[in-house]
Amino acid sequence: MRAVMFCGASLLMMAQANAQPTVVSTTSPLPPPVFRAESATARAAPPVFSAMQESDIPVRPMQVMMRLGQRTLWNGVLNVGGRAPARVSLSEAVEQGAGCEPLRGYGSSANRQIEISLSASRSPRQRDGFPIYSLTARYVRPPENSAQCDGSRTVAMDQRFMWESNDTLTFSGDGGLSVTISRP
């Protein structure tokens, strides 16, 4: 005779050489415990968050031009303000250079990407006055050298600024990346 434990149930098997019937005995599992809620006074208050006050910032059209050296990558108007950032994201497939062979076992794709994001915010202590703008610009391209065709090259900038007048602002980054902001 032998006893076997299987998933919390007890199996008793009787096996003898003369083919007598097998008897199986199981026990029911215990019911799950019951938890009772404590009184309403024991509950914690919900958390309070102090978020940026963005809803009172009027939407303002801005002419934005992103350049790499003398080449214009994107030029257009973004409506900046309110609750959400103004954003442009472009991605396009580009031809790879002649003689470019991808690494063995990997597919090859070449993309050019342009991303621009502009947002406006005020801190809770800054109820009036000019908003603080945040600019993020990013340009990604495949390598120009045909011997190095797998990979990408990226230039980017993050810039915070206040725009108190209607003057044209130009921000310069690495690799010849620049962003110019003006009134449309």
List the domain boundaries for the chain.
60-182
* pLDDT of 84 above 70: yes
Q: What is the mean pLDDT of residues 69-88?
A: 94
**Which letter does DSSP use for residue 42 in this model?**
G
Average pLDDT of the segment spanning 76-89: 93
Q: What percent of the chain has pLDDT over 70?
A: 58
Please report, rounded to a whole number, the percentage of residues in the chain having pLDDT higher than 90.
Answer: 38
Residues ≥6 apart with Cβ < 8 Å to 49: none
pLDDT of the residue at 181:
97
Least Cα distance to 132 among 160, 104, 159 occurs for 160
Considering only residues 59 and 10, tell me which one the structure prediction assigns the higher pLDDT.
Answer: 59
39: CB partners within 8 A, 6+ apart = none
Q: pLDDT: is 145 or 83 the higher one? A: 83
Mean pLDDT, rounded, for 25-29:
60
The rounded distance, in Å, linking the Cα atoms of 110 and 140 is: 10
Residues comprising the chain, all counted: 184
Tell me the three state secondary structure of residue 112: strand
Cα gap 28→131, rounded to integer Å: 67
Pairwise pLDDT comparison (136 vs 104), residue with the higher score: 136
Asked if 91 and 28 touch (Cβ cutoff 8 Å), the reply is no
Taking the complete model, does pTM exceed 0.75, yes or no? no
The pLDDT of residue 52 is above 70: no
- Euclidean distance between CA atoms 26 and 11, whole angstroms: 6
d(CA 171, CA 115): 15
